Structure 1
Amino acid sequence: MTAAPATPSAAAPSAAASNTTIRPPRPKPSATSSGAESDTAPAPARRGARQAPPDPLSARATSLLIRRTLCPQQQRGGDKARDAQARPIDELLPPLTSRNDVDLELYAFLAIILREFVQSWYGKITTDEAFVAEIVHTVAHCTRALEQRCRKVDLESLVMDEIPDLLDRHVSAYRASRRPIAASPVQIDARQVYHSLCPLPPLSPVPRAGDEDSMAEQQRNEAAYRQLLVQAVLALLLPTEDLENPCLTSLVGQIFSEIIIGNAAANKAAQPWLIWEGICILARVVQERKEKKDKVSRRLVGRSPAEDVDKASRRWSVHGFFLSIINLCILFVTSIRLLAGAVAASSSLPPRLPSSPDTKGTSTTQSKPKIPSGSNTHVAPMPAPILEFRIWSCAGNLLELTTRMPWLSGFLSLVQHAAINGPARLGRLDGPIDRFLSYHIRSLVSPAHLPPLLRTLRGALFPNNAPGQPTLSPPTSHAELLALRRRAASALWRLLPKTISTLYLGGGLGLTSLRRTAACDDAEEEEERMVDEVEGLLMVFSDEYCNKHLLYSVLELVLVRLMPELSEKGVEALWDERLG
């Protein structure tokens, strides 16, 4: 019996189709099953999920930026490149400071500056990559030398005494220049008066509105002054072999003088709008933290926000007056307990002047030399107790404490004198209060606070790690500038408690304040008047030219404290001493 010949059947095509890539079409889902399928089917199968853009300030983005710009030879293929990419950045680049977290932020700044202002034109000339490495090593020499000098500087006196002294002079000179003695027909240039009270030769001649020649000459003198400052610093910090390279020193000098000091500091930090924007940002951060603490306290006590509003809106009463007296007594007792605890704990704190224990019992009022207000010399002052630092008088001058509340200013001066020169002398140099305050000030100026500060500064100056439209844009008109100053004043006023703001900004204690408060029935009118008072206090930073005086004075003071040779020799003498 012979087998029948193979004939095509229905099973044959299906078997053949199973071996091919052709698949039957997917049946369309019905209306009843479409919802179930859409719930079970994952969305990425139909369309890719949109990913959020990476944060340019993150550690990974910062590391990639540094490797692409400062380590270009490690980005090429090969086993050595893969090995270099696996190594940390601190092993590939020379250290800038003694802290790796600070070095990472400084490397990011350096990478952005070199990529945008050096490699943009140097890469068109040659493909040599050794020049960037030489710049990095030169900058590393400068930063390491500056760090060694910073350890020998009394940062407490610099930050709390000498810089506030310059700010105090700035405030006094600005207000004196805006309050001339001459009558209205006589016109006096306020900038000329300020420049006479706080002379700074690099900022002369005083630029006048409409006079382009004076503006151009002043800008040339300012640029030459920045170049001299940087050249003097390089002569002290760089090794001799780097100083003998004029191309390298010129380029590094341009980076420091024009990009860092001129562009970032003088042309931005001296702008009034940037100062007021910074005040608004700080006030907003403090207000948010304050609101969080209030929410937590209300949650613990079980009080609603409406009860706080009702409590704040209560009028004066005898019961409330006695409660205020009791609260003041409790505050006074608590302050005494804190002071006693600080005095008891100060014995275990390290001494402020370990190298000179003989100054513990000396008279502090005679150990601090007085520098004339018109003098440009930077004589290093003798150590003084923290209670005698100029930051306290500067704060009083900035807030107009002597004019608004002379009784409070006199009382605080009496307490200060009693603490320093009284029978117990608790506030003397290296005394209990002096050690306690010194310990907390050193914790505030700790290098651990530098990395987040540098990261925030990089995000504000270089958004997306590139120079572009900054996050803080300047106002386009004078009306916007006035509105910004108004917002800054309002933000500061909201931070103050209502009682303190009414007491201080309302004119202090007395019949005049009570009559004025009673006459202002409208709360909004009283609020606007107090905001006007705060805005008047902020007027001391409303002139860019005057702010530059303060900025360059602070810069020169810091450089002289770090490098005392700058006050003894000129730039040419320093270079001749190094190069012969």
Structure 2
Amino acid sequence: MFGFLLDEIPLILDEHIKDVRLVRERYQSALLPAAPAAGVETLGRAFHSIRPHPALVSAEDETAFLQVLSKGVTIVLLDQANLNSPLALSLVSTIVCDMGLKNAVEKLSEPWMLYEIFTKIVDVVTQKQQQEAVKQETAVKKTVPVVTTAAAGMVINPSTVTAQAGTVYRRVVRLCGSALARGGKMLAFVGGFASGEASALEKTRVPLIGTSVFSLMSTLLQLGERKPLVPAALRVCTVPLGYGRLGKVCNRVVAYYLELFLGNAGAVANIIRIARETLFPNAGPMGPGRVYPDPDEQAAIRAHCHKALLGCMSETAKFMVLGDEPKESIDEILDLFADKLVNKHLVYALLEHIIARLVPELTEVTPQELLDIKLGSSTQSR
């Protein structure tokens, strides 16, 4: 999961964003004419001409592609008893294709759906930041005594001032002791990852600094064009974290938190709940599907996403990563996902990679060959 989440998925996103910007730059030019004779009539078709996908040649090809993919997944998931029943195999495969993969691909390709997902991610992150800020503010209020004074003619009592100063001193000492204790625990926590030899998995794992997640952030925000000194300075400062003992500690700490997060049933359930509410807001026993928003509602969803992305950063962060025109920079990022057909290329690329990692058998044999192998092994076992 370390390489999958931090290197493989970001790499697919990084290459997709680069291709989208390349097509937008060359669209309707001599390098990529938008002429019907050339078979390129829209931005999505233009993108397909440089990054073709077999599922997006025509509607029939897309249906056939999803059917083959669903059949392969179904064959892997079903047990031997159900595989011997053509009816069960066909029924489950059809459900996975029509109600699962096809429905998810169509909805996740919609620009307004992606904007809603971005907004929900920002809301979750900012909500946690607000909760932490409230906790810190409450702790400060409890630590610092509030002294009320009269506006005029106040007489200061030396004993009262001494008592208040003693109270502040004791609380400051207590805070310093608590900070030192937490710092010691943190050093002990990090030091625990520095001991021991690297395992075989760690030796084959891509170093944290070398993963594609940082390249994705740089590509998405166009730091190389807007603020070229920022990525250069970060690369220089993070060189020690990629090698030696520091690199080993960074990899182990990140892997530990990933395993801790993915093993947290509550966090995973929360992610599934948010995804379900986003894709199927009227979910329930035979509940109606979501009504697609009209153009005005889609524009409102994009505007809300724009506001959320712009509001989650401080003014300093906006200047550092978005340049002098942060609103235009956010618009440019959202425009990357404004075409449904272009989004479908990304969704299919991610879907193929995820299924290939979860069901590696499908990368070696066809679904029918896999079915023959499983049924043949079942017959031999009998």
**Is the pair's TM-score, using the shorter chain for normalization, greater than 0.5?**
yes
What residue in structure 2 maps to residue 282 of structure 1? Answer: 121
Q: What is the 5 A alignment of 1:416-455?
A: 416-421=238-243, 424=244, 426-427=246-247, 431-448=248-265, 449-455=267-273
d(CA) in 1 for partners of 2:53, 2:227: 34
What residue in structure 2 maps to residue 166 of structure 1? Answer: 12
d(CA) in 2 for partners of 1:197, 1:340: 50
AA of the residue aligned to 1:465: G
Q: What is the 5 A alignment of 1:404-483?
A: 404-421=226-243, 424=244, 426-427=246-247, 431-448=248-265, 449-460=267-278, 461=280, 463=282, 465-468=284-287, 474-477=292-295, 479-483=296-300
AA of the residue aligned to 2:217: A
What residue in structure 2 maps to residue 501 of structure 1? Answer: 318
Q: What is the 5 A alignment of 1:81-480?
A: 155-180=1-26, 182=29, 186-187=33-34, 189-204=42-57, 218-263=58-103, 265-302=104-141, 343-347=190-194, 354-355=199-200, 359=203, 383-421=205-243, 424=244, 426-427=246-247, 431-448=248-265, 449-460=267-278, 461=280, 463=282, 465-468=284-287, 474-477=292-295, 479-480=296-297
AA of the residue aligned to 1:198: R
d(CA) in 2 for partners of 1:537, 1:256: 33
Q: What is the 5 A alignment of 1:54-73?
A: none
Which consecutive unaligned segments of at least 5 residues does structure 2 have?
A: 35-39, 145-179, 377-382
AA of the residue aligned to 1:419: L
What residue in structure 2 maps to residue 321 of structure 1? Answer: none
What residue in structure 2 maps to residue 561 of structure 1? Answer: 357
Q: What's the CA shift string for 1:100-147, capped at 9, x where partnerless?
A: xxxxxxxxxxxxxxxxxxxxxxxxxxxxxxxxxxxxxxxxxxxxxxxx
d(CA) in 2 for partners of 1:565, 1:457: 28
Match of 2:347 among 538, 551, 556: 551
Compared CA separation, residues 338 and 157, structure 1 to 2 (3 A) = farther
Give how far 1:484 is off.
2.2
Q: Secondary structure at the match of 2:6?
A: helix
Q: Secondary structure at the match of 1:426?
A: helix
d(CA) in 1 for partners of 2:140, 2:80: 68
Q: Secondary structure at the match of 2:52?
A: coil
Q: State the TM-score, normalized to the length of structure 1.
A: 0.51
What residue in structure 2 maps to residue 26 of structure 1? Answer: none
* More helix as a share of residues: 2
Q: Which has the higher contact order (CA 8 A, sep 6+)?
A: 2
d(CA) in 2 for partners of 1:410, 1:474: 44
AA of the residue aligned to 1:393: S
Give how far 1:342 is off.
6.2
Residue 7 of structure 2 contacts residue 212 of structure 2 at CA under 8 Å; is this kept in 1? yes
d(CA) in 2 for partners of 1:341, 1:400: 38
Give how far 1:492 is off.
1.0
Q: Secondary structure at the match of 1:437?
A: helix
Q: Secondary structure at the match of 2:294?
A: coil
d(CA) in 1 for partners of 2:321, 2:5: 28
Give how far 1:494 is off.
0.8
Compared CA separation, residues 245 and 344, structure 1 to 2 (3 A) = same
AA of the residue aligned to 2:282: P
Residue 342 of structure 1 contacts residue 433 of structure 1 at CA under 8 Å; is this kept in 2? no
Give how far 1:341 is off.
6.2
AA of the residue aligned to 2:193: S
Which consecutive unaligned segments of at least 5 residues does structure 1 have?
A: 1-154, 205-217, 304-333, 360-381, 508-528
Residue 458 of structure 1 contacts residue 465 of structure 1 at CA under 8 Å; is this kept in 2? no
Give how far 1:160 is off.
1.4
AA of the residue aligned to 2:228: P
Give how far 1:296 is off.
4.3
What residue in structure 2 maps to residue 323 of structure 1? Answer: none
AA of the residue aligned to 2:235: S
Residue 227 of structure 2 contacts residue 323 of structure 2 at CA under 8 Å; is this kept in 1? no
Give how far 1:452 is off.
3.0
Give how far 1:196 is off.
3.1
What residue in structure 2 maps to residue 139 of structure 1? Answer: none
Compared CA separation, residues 338 and 396, structure 1 to 2 (3 A) = farther
Give how far 1:252 is off.
0.3
Q: What's the CA shift string for 1:181-223, capped at 9, x where partnerless?
A: 726995364223322332211111xxxxxxxxxxxxx222111
AA of the residue aligned to 2:78: L
d(CA) in 2 for partners of 1:197, 1:249: 37
d(CA) in 1 for partners of 2:31, 2:206: 45
d(CA) in 1 for partners of 2:209, 2:32: 45
d(CA) in 2 for partners of 1:341, 1:414: 27
Compared CA separation, residues 567 and 493, structure 1 to 2 (3 A) = same
d(CA) in 2 for partners of 1:548, 1:556: 12
Give how far 1:163 is off.
1.0
AA of the residue aligned to 1:386: L
What residue in structure 1 maps to residue 309 of structure 2? Answer: 492
Count of residue pairs brought into register by the alignment: 328
Give how far 1:402 is off.
1.1
Compared CA separation, residues 268 and 466, structure 1 to 2 (3 A) = farther
d(CA) in 2 for partners of 1:344, 1:289: 28
Give how far 1:300 is off.
4.3
Give how far 1:230 is off.
1.7
Compared CA separation, residues 202 and 283, structure 1 to 2 (3 A) = same
Residue 223 of structure 2 contacts residue 321 of structure 2 at CA under 8 Å; is this kept in 1? no
d(CA) in 1 for partners of 2:49, 2:237: 36
Q: Secondary structure at the match of 1:463?
A: coil
Percent identity reads: 26
Root-mean-square deviation (CA), in Å? 3.1
Compared CA separation, residues 480 and 345, structure 1 to 2 (3 A) = same
d(CA) in 2 for partners of 1:185, 1:390: 29
Is 1:535 the counterpart of 2:331? The answer is yes
Give how far 1:240 is off.
3.1
Give how far 1:436 is off.
1.4
d(CA) in 2 for partners of 1:269, 1:299: 41
d(CA) in 2 for partners of 1:267, 1:502: 36
Q: What's the CA shift string for 1:537-568, capped at 9, x where partnerless?
A: 12221121121111121121122222322122
Give how far 1:337 is off.
10
d(CA) in 2 for partners of 1:184, 1:559: 35
Give how far 1:280 is off.
2.3
What residue in structure 2 maps to residue 575 of structure 1? Answer: 371
Give how far 1:425 is off.
5.2
Compared CA separation, residues 566 and 254, structure 1 to 2 (3 A) = same
